[in-house]
């Protein structure tokens, strides 16, 4: 009897790595995880990245038959860069996704030459980091975190994906590194080759196959950013499918049949197959609840809320002035008055206010050219509150199916499946 083939997706986040083994119908058979802090006090240490990946992968492989594995893909934090030698050895301490480049001359050159809708603008862009690293002696490539980790499975440290490359100046519409990078003094010759997310790169190297006990014909597939992987994990896969992340802040993303770029909102589009993933982040979210009701029992207060009626209050919940999306106004004032005497009524009005911002956010995407909102899946801590979910459902007016998974590694596994099918191994 032929055993059902499996693929593996690995997610590398800010604090650790997670891995899953997935069947061709998206069922997760095994999971593994590791914290980088177990290997180093420095989250910028590439050795700790790799040890966390190894540990998470070994945990998964111990729970399955490794002979069933057909493909593997890795995601990484968007904008995390490192310079490497020809054999992939890091030549300097990496710059993480949120580390700024302080060389104002580099930032000025990018600002002068990059199109206004490019994601390469800003001190934390991948391109700024690549330009910063270009002067290092012996540098052969400047690559993204996911590229470097994938290289450990192939021996190739010169291949990236369209999603990680976006903030490094890659043009996802023309599908190339554009000429303006040269005009800005960027090291285009040091940047990796770029393939669509979910594309076969190469078969696993003999050394990696032996180290992990994997078949020598496992296909290594291009991954994506951790943010895109989280979206894909939910099962959203059609134009108009949205995903709301209800964490400290509110982030909305939607699949579109055309790219959306609105730099005034910090909005740009990742290419996912023949579709585009666009989204924006508001300053509202769970941080408002944690600040204004920090000592309250939110579950008990929620149980006293009737989600089928409206409070009659019109809040714009923020903890301080300033909003990014769906309203771009650095001086926008919070609106949290009048405050009811009963904290349950106050919580209800906050829930309604955040739901109104979420509805406005999807409306903003539609106004910029996305399809009509067809569905919304929810992830993050707020997604677990059924009262809040019902308030949101009434406001959004669309189906809200459950997320198939909230593990970014599951989204990357879906890309491994795509690559495995393209390579003909599944």
> What are the extents of the domains in the chain?
6-227+408-423, 236-396
d(CA 143, CA 328): 32
Q: What is the pLDDT of residue 287?
A: 96
Q: What is the pLDDT of residue 292?
A: 97
Predicted confidence at residue 44, as pLDDT, reads 94
In our burial notation (b when 16+ CB lie closer than 10 A, e otherwise), range 335-363 reads: ebeeeeeebbbbbbbbbbbbbbbbbbbbe
Contact 317, 354 (CB under 8 A): yes
State which residues of the chain have pLDDT below 70: 1
Q: Is the entire prediction scored with pTM above 0.75? A: yes
CA distance 250 to 244: 7
Q: How many CB atoms lie within 10 A of CB 152?
A: 20
Q: Which is the CATH superfamily of the domain at 6-227+408-423?
A: ATPase, nucleotide binding domain (3.30.420.40)
Whole-number pLDDT of residue 1: 60
- Residue 30 burial by Cβ neighbours in a 10 Å radius (0-12, 13-18, 19+): middle
Q: How far apart are CA 144 and CA 82, in angstroms?
A: 6
With residues binned 3-state (H G I as helix, E B as strand, rest as coil), the percentages for the chain, rounded to 5, are 35, 20, 45
Q: Looking at residue 3, what is its pLDDT?
A: 82
Please tell us whether the domain made up of 236-396 is placed in CATH 3.30.420.40.
yes
Same fold across 6-227+408-423 and 236-396: yes
Cα distances from 30 to residues 75, 149, 327, 406, in angstroms, run 18, 21, 42, 15
Tokens of 252: 């909305």
Q: Which residue(s) pair with 244 in the sheet?
A: 252, 378
The tokens for 120 are 């390469």
Q: Name the CA radius of gyration of the chain, rounded.
A: 22
On whether the CB atoms of residues 29 and 13 are closer than 8 A, the answer is: no
DSSP label at 10?
E
């Amino acid at each position: 009897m032929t055993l059902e083939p499996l693929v593996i997706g690995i997610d590398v986040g800010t604090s650790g790595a997670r891995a899953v083994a997935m069947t061709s119908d998206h069922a997760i058979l095994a999971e593994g995880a590791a914290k980088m802090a177990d290997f180093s006090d420095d989250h910028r240490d590439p050795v700790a990245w790799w040890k966390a990946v190894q540990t998470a992968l070994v945990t998964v492989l111990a729970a399955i038959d490794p002979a069933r594995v057909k493909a593997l893909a890795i995601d990484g934090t968007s904008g995390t860069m490192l310079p490497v030698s020809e054999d992939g050895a890091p030549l300097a301490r990496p710059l993480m996704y949120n580390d700024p480049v302080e060389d104002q001359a580099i930032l000025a050159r990018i600002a002068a030459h990059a199109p206004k809708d490019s994601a390469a603008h800003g001190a934390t862009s991948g391109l700024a980091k690549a330009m910063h690293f270009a002067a290092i002696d012996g540098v052969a490539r400047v690559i993204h975190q996911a590229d470097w980790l994938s290289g450990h499975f192939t021996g190739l440290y010169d291949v990236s994906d369209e999603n990680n490359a976006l903030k490094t100046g890659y043009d996802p519409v023309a599908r190339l590194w554009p000429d303006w990078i040269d005009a800005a003094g960027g090291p285009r010759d040091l940047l990796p080759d770029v393939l669509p997310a979910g594309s076969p790169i190469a078969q696993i190297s003999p050394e990696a196959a032996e180290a992990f006990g994997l078949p020598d014909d496992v296909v290594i597939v291009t991954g994506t950013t951790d943010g895109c992987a989280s979206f894909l994990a939910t099962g959203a896969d059609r134009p108009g499918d949205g995903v709301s992340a209800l964490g400290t802040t509110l982030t909305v993303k939607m699949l579109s049949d055309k790219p959306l770029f609105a730099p005034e909102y910090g909005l740009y589009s990742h290419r996912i197959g023949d579709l585009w993933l666009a989204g924006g982040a508001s300053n509202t979210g769970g941080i408002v609840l944690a600040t204004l009701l920090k000592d309250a029992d939110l579950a008990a207060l929620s149980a006293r809320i009737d989600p089928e009626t409206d409070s009659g209050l019109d809040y714009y919940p923020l903890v301080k002035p300033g909003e990014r999306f769906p309203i771009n106004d650095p001086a926008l004032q919070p609106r949290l008055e009048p405050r009811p005497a009963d904290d349950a009524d106050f919580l209800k009005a906050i829930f309604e206010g955040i739901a109104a911002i979420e509805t406005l956010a999807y409306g903003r995407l539609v106004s910029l050219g996305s399809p009509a909102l067809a569905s919304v899946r929810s992830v993050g801590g707020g997604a677990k509150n059924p009262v809040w979910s019902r308030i949101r459902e009434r406001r959004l007016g669309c189906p809200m199916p459950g997320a198939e998974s909230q593990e970014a590694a599951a989204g990357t596994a879906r890309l491994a499946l795509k690559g495995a099918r393209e390579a003909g191994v599944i």
